A and B are shown apart, each in its own frame.
Chain A
């Protein structure tokens, strides 16, 4: 059973169709890649899935329950978490408090067991390798690390589905390497991850299944090596560059 199912979702902004009958499934225990040129509609899709945007058509199902009309908070409580391409960190808090407050919010859900926020924060800091900058203001850290803070913050809610919007942009090669390993470990623990990323080496390495989005439509779905040789995909990318 897929953890997340997007069924025939469409979005319009005024005259432009940002998404058109998009279908995607994300399975637990694996990384599902989502690639496409800038403006293809990837971020828009994440906004629909997390409830920040209501689609003009289609359904979103989370753990086999229809959440198309649910609030963002309700979806989060059902195990959905995300990061933002345009960083949405809590800029007046330190790195540690950015992560800690996610635990605070989780404990405020009022159902399920409460977590020990202080202990969990330290575990997540350790896991994501942010220990050395935990005390710094998030406003003062490099973009690449800020993206990892967003991931760490999302992990604090102990999600079952995680959406990552270009998490490696701004990271150094070394950081990307470590980040890829982290993704692998998280997936191995059973998390369902959907990864939007422009760093093809990373996407190809960690993804089980890859979706290609272009002009708001799914162009191709398949394993990484299939996608690389898909003529439509190559044409889209070359066409985009021309």
Chain B
């Protein structure tokens, strides 16, 4: 009884902190329509800033608290909204998710930059660990009472805010109809900014309260993933209702506490289980949630635009890619070849995202985790031979990929009935669950019937890693680096061409239709569930294939190779490069697979080699780790991705062949210099990049008319959305609309003529009945 009481109180405290975090998540989601994946990261930053003020600077706790909760938290939320989130209106759901994911990664990297993760930091409970009271014999620390008190106050406070205050009532109204806010005389921007400030405050409060009750250690990753617990709680209220979110949070907290109390200590998986509990709860809740209402096109027109390449250009591009890779191969040493191969396998995984998000508009935040499934299966059933002579068989890969597709079906099925965001959440939960529970399993289990022993993720002796030998089929042995590089390039090219073909097929058109308007698709007789399920399974299979190949390229893999953060940054970079294009997958995959790790190590090496400018180079190295996140945040400005833009720029060069020829000559020269070792190959890469980026600019300088002509190609209604709205543009518009002089034209982005969408409001405007009465009745 005593144990029960102690753990019940602990569960309530934990649930209270979850509730504080989750209510912030619900608040921002409902007022701005953006689900904030960086919510846990905000909590994490808050906790670290508090630690710095309290223990670094030695400020007294009340002062540190006032600074963190009163200034840092709200300021961070408000600024984030005004600088980043405001620009996300009228973008696809994937874009919104990617921006907050980028923010999350950026905050995580930022914290590692400022606060070395190698160092241990602890936060002590308020009033110290000895400050306790007894409740029916159970010892409860003052800190825990404070945490519980905060949760109760926040719950009551939010309730009052939403029902008593004018602006709170307005926020509730904003949930379904942003137009309502304006009717009530509120500025929706201001309301959203306020809600972000409040959300961030709640995140930071949770971040400050949580570490002391869960052991005291300050860990950036763990706190960042607090967002998972928060949304598991929020799902109880369908991401809408704050009271139900509180209930969900308490259930979660209690469940976690009871697992801690009553699971036998001999069950080694119990501690992993406790960590994964929110994910498990999330899945159960998703299964029982009633079906969502079908959504129509959320906006009349998203800013993302994708053009479908023809089969012919896809084939040409594939051959070109293979040629470039073979040429580059000549410049590389063995370790470079492996690095590029790993990048290419990442690009294959990225193709799964092109299919799923780019074509079908669905989300997978744990693509690399599906690679882990295929890797495990292939490891257990596909290896022949021993030691250095061991090889992967094709059979192992095929079965691994097939089972990955089935796992994909099981994971996605509960979420597919619901809105796209839920699939994103479910896959992320799956990814974390996999790394926390399955991949950590290095103990031997006995299969009861077969009398064999096995462990899920261990090559033996309790070591938490797998050795994956390269594939051998017939005469093809991927033990040879060049063969592997060429093979993985061919695999990428073949799947890429397959995707282009699929896009141009009946199936591809149905995917596009579902992405553009699920409601219209369904009313034409499309079974959305079947279509989503099939595309998710196909995409999981591609991710699985890419994952096995990555494992083979690396030779030996640990759970870190499948971390959720890797999946997230892959998704982010692919979206930034252009998620609707195979070329975007190539760029995104290469960048996340090799690019940034190479840049970082290069700068680190430079820093240690050049003592005098050490500071500068190590700064650049840190900056390089944060930069992908900055790029990801910037995706709000160009949601179609930059690779396609670049290709478009080159297309305009067709009219000026001498510029292209000049570029080609320079490139050949660089290549020869590099081949003869006059030029280091890193210089070759950097200079090539410079040439490629400068070429279109040179072309434009040679043809000042080009810009104007291209601007005219933008349909009138899209003018000024992707480019700055300057006087030049306004003149063009005025001329097109037949307005003589500079008339006051509304310049805000959202103002676009769309008369048809004006109906369906609340106003009861009578149509001109009499107008038709006279001449009717014939």
Contacts and interface: CB of A to CB of B under 8 A. Distances in A.
B326 to A, nearest CB: 35
B305 to A, nearest CB: 7
Contact of B301 (A91, A205, A225, A234): A91
Contacts of B513: 90, 93, 101, 105
B297 interface: yes
A225 B772 CA distance: 11
A88 B773 CA distance: 31
Given A73-B527, A93-B516, A200 B764 contact: no
A38 B761 CA distance: 7
Contacts of B765: 37-38, 240
A240 B770 CA distance: 13
Contacts of B509: 93, 97, 100-101, 104
B510 A108 contact: yes
B300 interface: yes
A241 B770 CA distance: 12
Given A92-B516, A200-B772, A106 B294 contact: no
A105 B524 contact: yes
A198 interface: yes
Interface in A11-35: 35
A231 interface: no
A50 B755 CA distance: 25
A130 interface: no
B523 A240 contact: no
Contact of A72 (B523, B715, B756, B759): B523
A237 B770 CA distance: 9
Interface string A216-242: 000000001100100001100110110
Interface in A35-90: 35, 37-40, 43, 50-53, 71-73, 75-77, 80-82, 84-90
A171 to B, nearest CB: 10
- Main secondary structure on chain A at its contact with chain B? helix
Interface stretch (A2-10, A139-147, A183-191): A139-147
Residue in A50, A53, A73 whose Cβ sees the most chain B Cβ within 10 Å: A73
Given A88-B296, A101-B509, A200-B773, A157 B767 contact: no
B227 to A, nearest CB: 30
B525 A201 contact: no
A75 B526 CA distance: 10
A88 B525 contact: no
A86 B305 CA distance: 20
B456 to A, nearest CB: 39
A64 to B, nearest CB: 20
B766 A37 contact: yes
Given A104-B506, A228-B777, A87 B756 contact: yes
A169 B767 contact: no
B522 interface: yes
Nearest to A38: B765
Given A88-B519, A91-B516, A200 B766 contact: no
16 contacts: A37-B767, A38-B761, A38-B764, A38-B765, A39-B764, A40-B764, A84-B519, A87-B300, A88-B519, A105-B510, A105-B521, A108-B526, A204-B777, A228-B776, A237-B767, A240-B766
Interface of A: 35, 37-40, 43, 50-53, 71-73, 75-77, 80-82, 84-93, 97, 100-102, 104-109, 117, 137, 139-140, 143, 146-147, 153-154, 156-157, 166, 169-170, 198-205, 224-225, 228, 233-234, 237-238, 240-241
The 3 closest A-B pairs by CB, nearest first: A200-B772, A204-B776, A76-B525
Given A38-B759, A86-B757, A102-B524, 6 more contacts: A39-B761, A80-B523, A89-B516, A108-B525, A156-B524, A157-B524
